[in-house]
Amino acid sequence: MLSRLPAGALKQLAFCLGTVCIVERFFSNAFESFMNSRLTLASATLFTAGTIAWYAYLYGNLPFLGEAHASHLSDEGLHPVTYPWPHSGFFDSFDHASIRRGYQVYREVYAACHSLDRTAWRNLVGVSHTADEARAMAEEVEYQDGPNDEGEIVYPSPQKR
C-alpha cells in the first residue's frame, strides 16, 4: 500500500501528525500570502518613509543627504567665464567660413582615420557648402549597393549619385 504513494506524501506523513500538520499548513500559507501581498509592500514603504521623516524632524537633517547634495560653483562665488562669442546673440549664427575651413582640415588630416559615415551630405548644405558643392563631393564617393535583378553587386550605386 505504501509503495503507491509518492515520495512527497511519505515525507508529509512522517513529519505531520494529526492536528499539528493542519495548523502548520494554515500558518505557512497565511504567512506566505501576507508576505506576498501589496498591503505588506505599502505598509513597509510607509513605515520606512515615516521613520526617515521622524528622524529628519528630530535631528534636522539626514546624514546621507550631505553627500547627495549637488553643490554648484556659484554657491562658492565661482562663476563661469563669459567669452564674447560671435554667435551668442539672438539673431547671430555660427561663423560659416570657419566651419568650412574646419571641414577642409578634416578632409585633409583626419579623414584617413575618422569617418563621417553617419553624417548626411544634406547636413552640409546651408552650413558650410552649397547644394552643388555637396552634390559634387558626394559624387566623389563610391557607394556599394545591394544586388541587382541578376544578383550582381552594383558598384558604384546608380541610385545614390
Same structural domain, 99 and 60: no
Cα–Cα distance for residue pair 150/80, rounded to 1 Å: 63
In angstroms, the Cα distances linking 94 to 12, 22, 38 are 81, 81, 57
Would you say residue 112 lies in a domain?
yes
Same structural domain, 61 and 101: no
Number of domains comprising the chain: 2
Same structural domain, 61 and 99: no
Q: What is the mean pLDDT of residues 9-26?
A: 52
Would you say residue 78 lies in a domain?
no
Enclosing domain of residue 132: 95-161
CB atoms within 10 A of CB 143: 13
Which residues does the annotation place in the binding site for heme c? 113-114
The grid cell for 155 is 558598384
Give one word for 78, left, alpha or beta, with left for phi > 0 and alpha for psi -120 to 50: beta
Which residues does the annotation place in the binding site? 113-114
The grid cell for 100 is 568650412
Select from 65, 86, 106 the last residue of a domain: 65
pLDDT digits (tens, 9 = 90+) for 85-117: 877 778 888 888 899 999 999 999 999 999 888
Mean pLDDT of the chain: 76
Whether residue 77 contacts residue 71, with contact meaning beta carbons closer than 8 Å, is answered with: no
Would you say residue 72 lies in a domain?
no
Would you say residue 84 lies in a domain?
no
Q: What is the mean pLDDT of residues 44-57?
A: 88
Cα–Cα distance for residue pair 23/69, rounded to 1 Å: 52
Can you give the pTM of this predicted structure?
0.42
